[in-house]
Structure 1
Amino acid sequence: MSKAVRYRRFGGPEVLELQEIPEPHPAPDEVRVRVTAAGLNPMDWQITTQPDMAARFGITLPAGFGSDFAGVVDEMGAEATGFTIGDRVYGAAIGRSVAEFVLVKTPTATLQPTPQGIRDEVACTLPVSGLTAWAALAALGLRAGDTVLIGGAAGGVGVFAVQLAKLAGARVLGTASEGTFEFLRGLGAEPVAYGPGLTDRVRALAPEGITAATDLFGRETAETALKLGVAPERISVVADGPTPPPGVRKTGALDVAPSNLGQIADAVRSGEITVPIAATFPVERIREAVTTQAERHVHGKIVITL
């Protein structure tokens, strides 16, 4: 038997259960990963609360939980390729990652070797958040000299978006609560408080104007950018958020190549990107971990250890 977090009905953190299930074994074209750490994303708990979103990802009840993971290949099917037993790996398995074992078909770009020098607790935060941030900026055609406004800059996706934008040579303004301002400054962003009056605060911070914006939380940042004269095609929102204003680009991790994940990992390994871990929870405290993340007051990523 093995452990896995599962749920039998849609709802909040209270529906999540740590269950004993039969130990899975790989099909001929699969590898089995013994999971050591799983990174949480907003989409994970949104899927558990929104049946229509679950359906978009092909998830039906009863279901597993989580998307991102890191661990070690410990079993291989006879036809599996690209890995050997003992390889450290990380990747994404939507609706299945918070479990003792994850099966992954090969060959695949969604499972990557974990670079030397990157801990599993860091590697497991990269796939969904890193690629979502990459997609959000790629949709803008971000370039050196841009001044970009990032909404939700202190969150799990925001910490990647801020740093990737800085690497691209942009000036970064990030919306957040005042309690996260020093945290954001440490990442290279100029913080600005979200909420009523955001347009005036951004105008005061960047009187010469902003040239691009991405909204990682809702619509406020996108609407502010439009008021400040940014062209809709230079504004993006993430795919699991609300419907964007007309002309604004909606995007997400599925819109970019999985190979971009390796570039993000290389930037982490070289120190160009840091990954703030806001909190780490053992899998037995999964409900507490999800509740903490859903409150959206954490600075960085939340990780589950197994």
Structure 2
Amino acid sequence: MSPLQRTGRWIGEHLVLAGGLLVLIYMFVPIAVIVLMSFNDPASRNVYRFDSFTLDNWLNPCAPQGMCSAVARSIEIGLLATLIATVLGTLAAFALVRHEFAGRRIANTFIVLPMAAPEIVLGSSMLALFVSAGLGGQLGFWTILIAHVTFCLSFVIITVRARLAGLDSHLEQAAMDLYANESQTFWRVTFPLVFPGILGAALLSFSLSFDDFIITNLNAGQTVTFPMFVWGSAQRGVPMQVNVVGTAMFVIAVAIVLAGEVARRRERGGAVTR
């Protein structure tokens, strides 16, 4: 085999790996910039570049007026929206997968629509609903929460439904054959198997809620969330503490994923040992 052929073969064997690495680099470069900028001491807020290293941004994350309250409000809305959407979405997913009823196929179709619709359409529709209900002058925390629950529900239902659809029903039948009643079968067999899907749906819901700007901006009134604070600050120079919040959220997300992976491997190792 000639050197040219060997080179071509090597490139062919490693092309997929190289493409995957390039995609990962493309995805993580913006995150690396955020982490770097969280340690930046800019000479001017009007120029977004790294000037000198400092820990002051991390030591004083609440220095920009109103930022920490906006972050706390986003976290509060995100947690409440996640809790409500996860409970309602999980119940709806069980109903769609485990029960036959009139309009089941139509319901499955309509569940996808909030995900497929542009955010500006969904946000303006929610605003029109609130105004027509006489809540136009009361836009704020609760209208944001209702809007977030609305668009998070679809993601929860689809995620949990996919987990349920892939669940082996023979496991539940085996539990009942061993004299477990319906309640015991659900809590000891079904729920532990479905829980990873529920947890994934909850994490996705929180991320979507915390990150949302368009729907929130249309239904917020005078309430300011973290994305709205960043948008307002961008007009006069983004404070470096914004990058601190972004870095902290990324580290927390990575820690949750790693903790889940470690727990899964320990559980698998324990099962093999037994």
TM-score range, shorter chain: under 0.3
Q: Please identify which structure carries the higher helix content.
A: 2
RCO comparison, higher one (Cα < 8 Å, 6+) = 2
Q: Please identify which structure carries the higher strand content.
A: 1
